[in-house]
Amino acid sequence: MQSYHSVGVVGGGSWGTTLAHLLGKNGNRVLLWLRDEESYQDIKNNHRNRKHTYEIALSEKICPTMDLEEVGKSCEIIVIAIPSSNFRQVTYLLGNHVKADQIVISACKGLEPQTHYSMTEIIREETCVKKIGVLSGPNLFQEILKGSPSAGVIASEYQEVIKKAEEIFSSSFYKIYGSNDLVGVELGGVMKNVVAIASGIADGLGFGNNTKALVLTRGISEMVKVGLKLGASPWTFNGLSGLGDMLVTCSSPLSRNYRVGYYLAQGQKLPQILEEMKAVAEGVNTAKVLHEYCRANQIDLPIMEGVYQILYENKPISHVLSELMNRLAHLEMDTNLLQTASSME
């Protein structure tokens, strides 16, 4: 039997609005916090957020608010869907109004530029909340709004967080899976954005399926390298937040990160692409953060380093491609590393 909850969604962009709609359609009372007056009025008066989710009629269970205190004090579960660039600032403000027994779930697939922190680490720093989770998976918001069968994974150290997430999100067209590997699930959702840029570049250059398979499989290998360093299970990256999310974002023109790569290969400049997109492509920032982290920790990520060089060093795509294809051959998979990881689980 469905149990209903009071849920807060922090962030009124396309993803936050979509999550609020999904939660409302499931019968939950949803407080959606926005800073944008235009979107606030549109949802309040017309049950639409045309600035971000077009003409889709939103659930009437959504109550828009511009009062973050109202969300913090009245919602037992709070989902934060803010871009990484503003995540700490908003979470700090929210932290003034929440209690330790509330549940807070990150729905942002990014890393903080200055600290290299994940969003759940920021939640730990800026709030007193202990029961923290992350939502990830192959979730293009346009398809969820249309009711296409989709799934996500919720990861947390607390079983209660997983159980409550299943209750509030699961529906006839959206399924939630659980995971105890918070680090792996969060990292998968973050790193696949950089691989999606590489995939978009490959498609923009007119390459075929062989190239796409190369980018995806080696991209997964690079994700596993970083995941093992940070204590994640390598098997997590074969799931929804790793391979699943990559299959979507590395092939769909609905993916912002894919479009960044595609248009770069078509000769457009990054500032122009981002300006015309008018939305955040988290992979652009993530490429820089990963470059800094991996250089400091001596982790070799050829594909992701190549994306960084294209984005931030203006290195010609043809040069990066040539260097990737001329790297010395080595074993496809470091089985010793995987055996060590397996023995630790």
Q: From CA 208, how far away is CA 51, in angstroms rounded?
A: 35
Residue 1's pLDDT is: 40
- May I ask the CATH class of domain 189-344? mainly alpha
Q: Which is more confident, 277 or 77?
A: 77
Q: Is the pLDDT of residue 336 over 70?
A: no
Q: Is the pLDDT of residue 263 over 60?
A: yes
Is domain 6-180 classified as CATH 3.40.50.720? yes
> Which among 192, 225, 229, 269 is annotated as catalytic?
192
Boundaries of every domain in the chain = 6-180, 189-344
Residue 335's pLDDT is: 61
Distances (CA, A) of 169 to 161, 166, 172, 258, 328: 12, 6, 10, 27, 47
**How does residue 97 score in pLDDT terms, banded at 50, 70 and 90?**
very high
User: Tell me, what amino acid is at 33?
Assistant: W
Q: From CA 277, how far away is CA 272, in angstroms rounded?
A: 9
Residue 226's pLDDT is: 96
What pLDDT, in 10s, does the model give residues 137-149? Answer: 999 999 999 999 9
Residue 279's pLDDT is: 83
Q: From CA 12, how far away is CA 279, in angstroms rounded?
A: 12
Rounded average pLDDT over 192-218: 96
Rounded average pLDDT over 197-205: 97
Percent of the chain at pLDDT above 90? 91
Residue 278's pLDDT is: 78
Are the beta carbons of 247 and 216 closer than 8 angstroms? yes
Q: Is the pLDDT of residue 331 over 90?
A: no
Residue 277's pLDDT is: 87
What kind and span of H or E run contains 317?
helix 317-325
Percent of the chain at pLDDT above 70? 94
**How does residue 340 score in pLDDT terms, banded at 50, 70 and 90?**
low
**How does residue 21 score in pLDDT terms, banded at 50, 70 and 90?**
very high
Q: Is the pLDDT of residue 317 over 80?
A: yes
Q: Is the pLDDT of residue 186 over 50?
A: yes
Does the annotation count 192 as an active-site position? Answer: yes
Residue 345's pLDDT is: 53
Question: How many CB atoms are located within 10 Å of the residue 45 CB?
Answer: 9
Q: From CA 310, how far away is CA 261, in angstroms rounded?
A: 10
Question: How many CB atoms are located within 10 Å of the residue 4 CB?
Answer: 13
What pLDDT, in 10s, does the model give residues 27-63? Answer: 999 999 999 999 999 999 999 999 999 999 999 999 9
What pLDDT, in 10s, does the model give residues 298-313? Answer: 999 999 999 999 999 9
Question: How many CB atoms are located within 10 Å of the residue 37 CB?
Answer: 9
Place of tokens 């470091």: 334
b (16+ CB within 10 A) / e for 123-141: bbebbebebbbbbbbbbbb
Residues 6+ apart with CB under 8 A from 32: 8, 9, 12, 16, 17, 20, 43, 62, 63, 64, 65
Q: From CA 57, how far away is CA 46, in angstroms rounded?
A: 8
The pair of three-digit structure tokens given for residue 230, joined into one six-digit string: 């940070």
* pLDDT, averaged across the chain: 93
DSSP-derived 3-state class of residue 333: coil
Q: From CA 57, how far away is CA 93, in angstroms rounded?
A: 30
Q: Is the pLDDT of residue 85 over 90?
A: yes
By C-alpha distance, which of 337, 222, 314 is closest to 267?
314
By C-alpha distance, which of 81, 68, 70, 77 is closest to 18?
81
Angle between helices 302-312 and 182-204 (to 10 degrees): 60
By C-alpha distance, which of 280, 252, 108, 131 is closest to 187?
108
- pTM, rounded to two decimals: 0.92
Residue 292's pLDDT is: 96
Range in 207-221, 224-238, 303-317, 326-340 with the lowest mean pLDDT: 326-340
